[in-house]
Structure 1
Amino acid sequence: MPVSPSIVLVSEHHLDDLRGSFRRYEHEYDVRCTRSCAEADAEAEAVVEAGGTVALFVSDSVLPDCHVLEGFHRWRARVPNARRIIAAHWDRFIADAPGLRAGMAKGKYDAYLLMPRGTRDEEFHNAVTDLLSDWGSTIADPEVVSAKIVTPVPGPETLAIHDFYDRIGMPVRVYHPDELAEHRLDLGIPEDPTYPVVWASNRPLIEAATVRKVAMSMYGAPSDLEVVDGTVDVAVVGGGPAGLAAAVYATSEGLSCVVLESEALGGQAGTSSMIRNYLGFPRGISGMRLAQRARNQALRFGTQFVTGWSVDELVPGRDGAPHRLCTEGGDIRARAVVIASGVAYRKLRVEPLEQLVGNGVFYGAAMTAAREMEDQDVFVVGGGNSAGQAAVHLSRFARSVTILVRRPSLEETMSQYLVGEIEYNPRISVQTCTRVVDGGGDAHLQWLCLEDTRTGERTRRDAYGLFLLLGAEPTCTWVPPQVSLDENGFVLTGRDVPRDHWVDGVPPADLATTVPGVFAAGDVRSGSMKRVAAASGEGASVVSLVHKFLAPPED
């Protein structure tokens, strides 16, 4: 019988109020009540020693034996992955807020809430369930499983498939074939399959599974799409924030729309463990959840999605003919095209480490791999927000996380809220003016060689994980030469378009390219801000340009 995860309540004077509010959770969680920081610490220790875990600490704003933020610091050391809430009593909520809210920006706790005054305070419980859901998405073995990966020897491909399912919000577990021997026929697994095998609810079994095969199984092929008259109003290439926003606004305004994404919906943003500066989400939101909400919103309005198929070529239409997007799974014809294919992380180009990709070396946040870093020393290379978010997430599992940057500091490239959170986190350190020049290990990463960019001095460090978030390279190899790119391969739009493409001395619209009816939004666009909110804004804004392009000419 699995041990239920625990919720620890802490209050000296208002414990009965808190206990009453959490009765609804007692069926599925082990709710423990304490009156001080020391008692809560002892309860958490007992839970961990018994093989359990604490999902959530909920504390009054005032504790008898220490400051509440010191309490959270101690509990975080005990259970790094637990979520943390201050539930201030209504007599102290306003008075205590100014001194405590700043700690939330630094990641010292996750939410500052008013303690419920009675039953059915759904605003309070909405925050609680959001945080419990966020916690549940980071644990290794979810209770509810929507997909099963079966393999005798997990390898890099297994990890990549697991990470794909994590990015799209489908609970998944890895099983040895012996664990499912009795259920093999029920699952449709043949006698001598080619591993890994992937089973998912209401989908055909996949043998010799790869990320691409799994992605392709989600929505079928482009040739399977139901398109009126064979042509959609707008095709969006890329399912990140810009592409999803374009889809939501296009279909909500009556345009037919198809989104093509070669991997998981959400793009790079979908790998972010927690985005705290996105408008409207004061407690933050994971990139995965943001992407899934946007996808569901787009589906509601009628957007069609295709994943797992890369666009090989864009053939611009001539004389009013539709544009054509070519894939191995069929072509899509569209009156307008939005390029929102985003960017990929730059390669480190240190050959011994490239050989270990998937075995301790990862490009991107690799959310699944973070769980395998428990009690290990890991390194994150990169100075942007994605690197900072990855480091914070890794610190919930790893013994130590070292951020490596070539610049003298993080302040130039990272949002201040993340810089503050990193400074506060005792498991994270920052090593500036440093680059990775070598590394290796026996089938798995074991060490790195780091070079000081100022002195040239090299040091060898033990390492179990290396996460590379090295800036951006646009994914535009499929874009035709008629679409102008800058010297780094990003799509030029608006006034940045070469003057010889201006019409009567007037540049294209801000998000329009050099090809009529082809637009660009998000990180792939030259001069873009490289922030989730900015990409979403561009995706929404481009729809008005699409409408204008598709409108019949005035007499």
Structure 2
Amino acid sequence: MPEPSTTPRPAIVIASEQHGAHLLDEFGRYARDYELHSTTTCEQTTDLLTELVAASAPVALVVTDGDLPDAHPYEAFATWRRLVPTSKRIVTAPYERFLVQSAELRPGLATGKYDAYLLMPRGVRDEEFHGAVTEMLSEWGSTVAAPEVDTVRIVAPTLDPLTSEIREYCVRMGMPTRYYPPDVPEGLEVVQAYEGTPRWPLVRVLHRPVMAPTSAREVGHVMYGAPAQLDVEGVVDLAVVGAGPGGLAAAVYGASEGLRTVVLEGEAIGGQAGTSSMIRNYLGFPRGVSGMRLAQRARNQAIRFGAQFCTGWQVEALEPGVDGAPHVLRVEGGGVVQARAVVVATGVSYRKLGVPGVEELVGRGVNYGSAMSVAREMEGYDAVVVGGGNSAGQAALHLARFARSVTILVRRDGLEATMSQYLIKEIHYNDRVQVHPCCEVVDGGGEARLEWLDLRDTTTGEVHRREAQGLFLLLGAEPHCDWLPRDVARDERGFVLTGRDVPWQAWASGNQPPEALATSLPGVFAVGDIRAGSMKRVAAATGEGSSVVPLVHAYLAPAR
């Protein structure tokens, strides 16, 4: 039997004067895992939340109707969010009030005042209502609560860059992961199980021997197999290089349509989109979905149709097939894959800031990307996000659930030209997030980790110093295609050219350009952010990944 937990159970707080008993009964199915509380006014709820915070009891969810006697839901949630910024928030209304209040309350969703506006259950087994509730509790559990059971334990004296890299990789792969210093019981157990003198970090994955990896990729090899161990037999129909949204869509549609499909991914599943804490404008997810959840669901979907995933396989070369022979993909570490067609979906990486004092602190307060695994550690600290795209906005809003303050720095004079309007509205409403336009980072430093940043006003040249314990850099895009042969035409920035963008000198047929997503090398296609002129949106990459499969079929048709 596992040891009983000493941590207070997460709370679900229900605030309703007229429907409290009904809602408390409906939420009875959660009573085993959550502490249920019921109040009748905004003031009572505020007092209760204050007590729970003082007792260090986590609050997972706050539910209210639209008819509290002493406060409008907008006012109530503004107060409650200051007390428990990490909790999820629901407004629910009975059938007779749902449509009446809809016009007034639905706009609150667009500005992030709460997470859902739901019809109150009218009978037993209202799984539409409870599906929304459990979805939000699941999201809270994966981003806020520490995992109850750790599949991966990482042990090191400090959170150095390698330790942070491994932890972020495991979190993005959906593995319950916890970091421990070596002098606590959980960490000491791992140290004692290691054979030899410890080299930090030590990592234990499930019940496998404790290892001292030198990269996150080594941990991936332990989980999913090393390239030298898992050579793909024979010639596959389709090899997808990269498992971001575009690559995952190509894998789902390719495998579902009968193509023997292999996906090669050097890092975590999901690509840059996989680091997004909450994507709210992706079709079919009205309450939003994290990039990690979206990626893992797509991976499971592709596996269901028979796709094979090779995670931690970094492709280092593509050797073009000659006279009908298959293309050969060579993987770092010795793996080889032969494929009749290849889809390049390697995406992009964030550009480096290039400031020496800041670069030295990567993994110690400085992070490229949103680094979801780090967000919890920003509690009570000041965080800075650099970037004006949607990823930066999503990162800032997620960090605001934990950090004392979040500042978004952009070189432009605002966010309107680069960020979706729904994010701009949420940022404007969130009093923990500030936007500093016409600003850039020119220096940073600290003793053991980041402590301060020097910021320069790009219009006046004035430099001022401010405290910061977290810096999250989301600085545009650099392509991942140095491994491609010269036969694949690229633009001056290194992005892959497809279709009519391919120069006529590189047309394989000599008299007409390649198909829309085809490159200058027959049998090689490109989708998503790696493609020159792409939209740089999750939905656009997904669309290209699905659209490329008919082109692959057409290319393979004569041989098949």
Q: Deviations over 1:7-49 (max 9, x none)?
A: 0001110111101100011111011000111111111111111
Determine which of 148, 157, 167 is the counterpart of 2:153. Answer: 148
Contact 2:232 2:337 (C-alpha < 8 Å) held by counterparts: no
Which residue does the alignment assign to 1:87?
92
Unaligned runs of 5+ in 1: none
- Would you say 1:462 and 2:467 are equivalent positions? yes
Matched with 2:247 is 243
Is 1:195 paired with 2:206? no
- Counterpart CA distance in 2 for 1:41 and 1:429 is 26
| Bigger shift: residues 292-301 or 199-208 | 199-208
SS at match of 1:372: helix
What residue number does 1:133 align with?
Answer: 138
> Aligned pair 1:397/2:420, yes or no?
no
1:255 aligns with 2:263: no
Shift of 1:159: 1.9
Determine the structure 2 residue equivalent to 1:339. Answer: 344
Equivalent position amino acid for 1:465 in 2: G
**3-state SS in 1 of match to 2:262:** strand
1:120 partnered with 2:125: yes
Contact 1:222/1:332 (8 A) holds in 2? no
SS of the residue corresponding to residue 199 of structure 2 reads coil
Distance 1:488 1:293, change over 3 A: same
Cα deviation, residue 221, structure 1: 2.7
Within 2, Cα distance between the matches of 1:183 and 1:427?
38
- Indicate which of 298, 312, 317 corresponds to 2:316: 312
Can you list the C-alpha shifts for 1:217-262, whole angstroms capped at 9, x where unaligned?
Answer: 222133444645x111111110100011100001111111111111
Paired position in structure 2 for 1:494? 499
Choose the corresponding residue for 1:430, options 435, 443, 446: 435
Corresponding residue for residue 294 of structure 1: 298
Q: Distance in 2 between matches of 1:262 and 1:450?
A: 35
Q: Could you tell me which of 497, 505, 523 is aligned with 2:511?
A: 505
Equivalent residues in 2 for 1:362-381, closer than 5 Å: 362-381=367-386
- Answer whether contact 1:448 1:462 (CA < 8 A) is retained: yes
Cα offsets for 1:111-143 (capped at 9, x unmatched): 111111122111111111110110011125211
Match of 1:528 in 2: 534
Counterpart position of 1:552? 558
* Residue type at the aligned position of 1:516: P
Q: Distance in 2 between matches of 1:185 and 1:37?
A: 47
Does 1:232 find its partner at 2:260? no
Find the counterpart in structure 2 of residue 275 from structure 1: 279
- Relative to structure 1, is the Cα distance of residues 3 and 208 closer, same or farther in structure 2, using a 3 angstrom cutoff? same
User: How far apart are the structure 1 equivalents of 2:325 and 2:447?
Assistant: 56
- Any idea what SS the aligned residue of 2:259 has? coil
Deviation track 1:273-294 (CA, whole Å, cap 9, x = no partner) reads 0000000000000000000100
Q: Quick one: distance in 2 between partners of 1:183 and 1:354?
A: 32
Cα distance in 2, alignment partners of residues 483 and 404 from structure 1: 37
SS at match of 2:301: helix
Task: For residue 489 of structure 2, give the secondary structure of its aligned residue in structure 1.
Answer: coil
Shift of 1:188: 4.6
The one-letter code sitting in structure 2 at the alignment partner of 1:160 is E
Residues 1:31 and 2:36 are matched in the alignment: yes
Aligned residue in 2 for 1:219: 224
1:204 Cα deviation after fit: 4.5
Change (3 A) 1:437 1:226: closer
Distance 1:506 1:191, change over 3 A: closer
Amino acid at match of 1:505: N
Residue of structure 1 equivalent to 2:486: 481
Report Cα offsets for 1:411-450 as digits up to 9, x if no partner. Answer: 1000000011101000001011111111111121111111
What is the CA-CA distance between 1:166 and the residue it aligns to?
1.4
Provide the rounded CA distance (Å) in 1 between the counterparts of 2:266 and 2:546.
21
Q: Deviations over 1:475-524 (max 9, x none)?
A: 11111111000111100000100011233532111100000000000000
For the residue of structure 2 that corresponds to 1:222, the secondary structure is coil
**Range moving further from structure 2, 179-188 or 95-104:** 179-188
Partner of 1:509: helix, strand, or coil?
A: coil
* Matching of residue 206 in structure 1 with residue 183 in structure 2: no
1:156 CA drift (Å): 2.4
CA–CA separation in structure 2 for the residues paired with 1:186 and 1:300: 38
Which runs of no fewer than 5 residues in structure 2 stay unpaired?
Answer: 1-5
Residue of structure 2 equivalent to 1:77:
82
Alignment partners' CA distance in 2, 1:36 and 1:487: 62
Distance 1:338 1:181 in 2: 43
Identical pairs, percent: 59
How far apart, CA to CA, are the structure 1 residues paired with 2:77 and 2:321? 60
8 Å contact from structure 2 (residues 406, 433) kept in 1: yes
| Corresponding residue pairs, total | 553
Q: Distance in 2 between matches of 1:9 and 1:160?
A: 39
Is the Cα contact below 8 Å between 1:56 and 1:132 reproduced in 2? yes
Cα distance change, pair 164–331 in 1 and its aligned pair in 2 (3 A): same
CA distance 1:327–1:519, shift in 2 (3 Å): same
In structure 2, give the amino acid aligned to 1:494.
G
Describe the SS at the equivalent of 1:212. Answer: helix
Q: TM-score, normalised by structure 2?
A: 0.96
- Matched residue, 2:3: none
- Contact 1:234/1:255 (CA < 8 Å) preserved in 2? yes
CA distance in structure 2 between the partners assigned to 1:187 and 1:37 by the alignment:
52
CA contact (8 A) 2:213 2:219 kept: no
AA aligned to 2:108 is G
8 Å contact from structure 1 (residues 225, 304) kept in 2: no
Q: Classify the secondary structure of the residue corresponding to 1:31.
A: strand
CA–CA distance in 1 between the matches of 2:460 and 2:176? 47
How well do the aligned residues superpose, as a CA RMSD in angstroms?
A: 1.7
Which letter maps to 2:245? P
CA distance in 1, matches of 2:304, 2:169: 23
Any idea what SS the aligned residue of 1:369 has? helix
- What are the Cα deviations for residues 197-225 of structure 1, in whole angstroms up to 9, with x where unaligned? 21222544322453111122222133444
User: Is residue 157 of structure 1 aligned with residue 162 of structure 2?
Assistant: yes
Separation in 2, partners of 1:426, 1:185: 42
Matches of 1:204 and 1:95, distance apart in 2: 60
In the alignment, what sits opposite 2:56?
51
Shift of 1:191: 5.9
SS at match of 2:268: coil
Is the contact between residue 380 and residue 387 of structure 1 (CA under 8 Å) also seen in structure 2?
yes
The answer to whether the Cα contact below 8 Å between 1:206 and 1:213 also exists between their aligned partners in 2 is no
C-alpha distance 314-553 of structure 1, shift in aligned 2 (>3 A): closer
After TM superposition, the runs of 4+ consecutive aligned structure 1 residues lying more than 6 A away are none
Shift of 1:455: 1.4
Is this contact kept in 1: 2:244–2:274, CA < 8 A?
yes
